Structure 1
Amino acid sequence: MQNGTHVPKTRPAVILLLAVILAAVAALSLHTGSATYAQTAAVSTPTAPHLTARSAGANTIELSWTEVPGAARYELHRQEADAPGWQQLDGGNLRVTSFTDGGLTPGVTYQYAVRAIDANGEPLGPWSNFPKETASGSGASTPVPTSTPTVTPAQTATATATASTVTAPRLSARDAGANTIELSWTEVPGAARYELHRQEADAPGWQQLDGGALRGTSFTDRGLTPGVTYQYALRAIDGNGEPLGPWSNFPKETASGSGASTPVPTSTPTVTPAQTATATATASTATASTVTAPHLTARDAG
Structure 2
Amino acid sequence: DWNPNDKLDRDDFELIGTINHNGTTGSTNPSHSINIPSDRLGYHVVLAVWDVADTVNAFYNVIDLNVTGDSTIPVKPEAPQNVRVQNVTSSTVNLTWNGQANAASYNVYRDGKLVGTSVDPEFSDKDLTAETTYTYEIEAVSQTGIKSDKTAISVTTTAISAEEKPTAPKNLHSMGETSSSISLMWGASTHTQGIKQYDIYRNGQLVGSTSDTSYMDENLTANTTYSYVVRAISTNGEVSDASNTLNVTTKQGEIIEGVREWKLGSMSSPELYTANEEVSYKGRVYTTLVTHFNYGDDTWAPDQAPTLFRLK
State if a TM-score over 0.5 links the two structures.
no
Which structure carries more helix by proportion?
A: 1
Higher strand share: 2
Query: Whose relative contact order is higher, 1 or 2, with alpha carbons under 8 Å and at least 6 apart?
Result: 1
